[in-house]
């Protein structure tokens, strides 16, 4: 771990301390690390605009909206290469929250997320994208026959 010191004015320090207290950080260092990671991630996505990512798409929808649940499911099946898993939660008698874990090229993931959020009846859609480095794993995790490497992907966050 590398240590560095920054100087900021007292008012900014108080505002930062209030922010990290509200967000539940136990110290400035951890809050600063998260801020740096977030900024580096945004900058990387803006700079490269591509590569691969993992993402969480969350949205709220009214399940009484005509055929909406079926349309959303069809979209996910149509992009099964991007869709890893979906969690569905009932909020009340009308509204559901879904969270969809995605992975793939950043452009394809964003396009798919935009299509899901654009469906009539979907509200409060938001996507959190994390760019990753893709590594073709060629080692045995214990589930391949002895001496054989099972090919698989490792997705390592860039920041």
Position 142 scores a pLDDT of: 61
Cβ-Cβ contacts under 8 Å for 55 (sequence gap 6 or more) = 101, 102, 103, 109, 113, 127, 128, 129, 130
52-136 topology per CATH: Alpha-Beta Plaits (3.30.70)
10-48 CATH choice from 1.25.40, 1.10.1220, 1.10.8, 2.170.130: 1.10.1220
- Give the helix/strand (H/E) hosting 40: helix 28-48
pLDDT recorded at residue 149 = 62
Please state the rounded mean pLDDT for residues 121-144. 79
The stretch 103-109 carries a mean pLDDT of 92
10 Å CB burial of residue 12 (0-12, 13-18, 19+) is exposed
Q: Is the pLDDT at 81 greater than 90, yes or no?
A: yes
Given a cut of 70, whether residue 145 has pLDDT beyond it is no
Q: Among positive and negative, which fits the CA dihedral 56, 18, 33, 51? A: positive
Positive or negative CA dihedral for 33, 36, 38, 41? negative
Answer whether residue 46 shows pLDDT above 70.
Answer: no
**Which stretch of 52-66, 101-115, 124-138 has the lowest confidence by average pLDDT?**
124-138
For the chain, the distance separating the N- and C-terminal CA atoms, rounded to the nearest angstrom, is 15
The C-alpha atoms of residue 19 and residue 117 are separated, in whole angstroms, by 30
* Domains of the chain, residue spans: 10-48, 52-136
Mean pLDDT of all residues in 72-85: 95
């Amino acid at each position: 771990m590398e240590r560095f010191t920054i100087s900021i004015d007292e008012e900014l320090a108080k505002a930062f301390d209030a922010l990290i207290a509200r967000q539940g950080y136990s110290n400035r260092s951890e809050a600063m690390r998260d801020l740096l990671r977030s900024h580096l991630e945004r900058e990387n996505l803006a700079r490269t605009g591509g590569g691969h990512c993992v993402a969480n798409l969350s949205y709220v929808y009214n399940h009484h909206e005509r055929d909406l649940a079926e349309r959303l499911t069809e979209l996910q099946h149509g992009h099964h290469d991007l869709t890893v898993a979906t969690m569905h939660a009932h909020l009340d008698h009308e509204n559901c929250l879904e969270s969809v874990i995605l992975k793939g090229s950043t452009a394809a993931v964003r396009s798919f997320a935009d299509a899901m959020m654009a469906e009539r009846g979907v509200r409060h859609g938001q996507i959190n994208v994390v760019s990753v480095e893709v590594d073709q794993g060629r080692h045995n995790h214990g589930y391949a026959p002895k001496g054989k490497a099972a090919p698989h992907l490792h997705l390592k966050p860039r920041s």
